[in-house]
Amino acid sequence: MSQANDAPAAAPAAARPRGNGKMRTELIVWACRLALLGSIIGLWEAAIRFGWVDPFFIGRPAEIGSYLVKGLESGLIWLHARVTLAEALAGLFFGSTGGILTGFLLARFPLAERVLDPFLLALNALPRIALAPIFILWLGLGPASKIAVSISLVYFILVINTRAGVRSVDSDLLIASRLLGATPRQQFIKVIMPSCVPPIFAGLRLGIQYSLLGAVGAELIGAERGMGQQIAYFAGTFQVSGVFAMLIVLAVISMSLALAASALERRLLRWQEP
């Protein structure tokens, strides 16, 4: 009788080490990351102090930190980061929305896909960042030209990924849903869209990087404000440490957006979890 009562208590005890083991692994991973980052910064500073490299070309960690602190205290980094982030998010939203809708429509109408495919391939083959001067000429130095460049970069990524997602839907699921009486609308909502979430979010994660690339690239060519404008200013005045400081801010923005997209994807794919 006592053995039967003790059996249920063993399950939580067995589950506890797994949770502790996962936490320890996560702590070890973060410790290794911090150690690697510290080693890179230490080697960088040592290379400058011992004269192995000229700080004129690569800056120095202490000066980069000084630029970051001054920029944050004065609010200059916040000002330019908000401008670039707004441009990138607008480009990501409009480019991804248009790309997803186009991908679904092309998959739904094969004849239209055959007609438009050569044009889409030709436009996608263009180095669209090189179109930034034209967009600036058309739309001016304001945010509109930067958003247009970001849209042009993000749009085709989502078109390709959405079409690939629709084509990868399991045909057995489609047949089974049809046999169960699902309408085309129900098939689209219940079968096709959930199956397309992973490739679409893979495209979105890539689109985040390209939307920032488009905004910053256009700002480098001509802008009144933004991170790209600041990079161009620091590079033009030979302040290499300032350039690296702006690049660090851009890396933090990009990583934060990618983590947000991953969290949203996990939330949408909770139904896949056992």
User: In this model, does residue 147 exceed pLDDT 70?
Assistant: yes
**Length of the chain in residues, anyone?**
274
180-200: average pLDDT: 79
User: Which pLDDT belongs to residue 1?
Assistant: 46
Angle (nearest 5°) at CA 232 between 227 and 235: 120
Q: What is the DSSP letter of 226?
A: S
Residue 265: which of 185, 203, 210 has the closest Cα?
A: 203
Angle (nearest 5°) at CA 127 between 122 and 130: 130
Helices (H) and strands (E) in the chain, counts: 12, 0
The tens digit of pLDDT for each residue in 193-245 reads 878 888 888 888 889 989 999 999 999 998 888 999 999 999 989 899 999 99
User: In this model, does residue 18 exceed pLDDT 70?
Assistant: no
The tens digit of pLDDT for each residue in 25-43 reads 888 888 998 999 889 888 8
The tens digit of pLDDT for each residue in 122-138 reads 888 888 888 888 998 89
Write the CATH number of the domain with boundaries 59-272: 1.10.3720.10
DSSP string, 111-151: HHHHHHHHHHHHHHHS-GGGGHHHHHHHH-SSHHHHHHHHH
pLDDT band at residue 17, thresholds of 50, 70 and 90? low
The tens digit of pLDDT for each residue in 28-81 reads 888 998 999 889 888 888 888 888 888 878 888 888 989 999 999 998 999 999
Cα distance between residue 223 and residue 51, in whole Å: 37
pTM (2 d.p.):
0.80
Question: How far is CA 101 from each of CA 56, 156, 247, rounded to the nearest angstrom?
Answer: 48, 11, 33
User: In this model, does residue 89 exceed pLDDT 90?
Assistant: yes
Cα distance between residue 120 and residue 112, in whole Å: 12
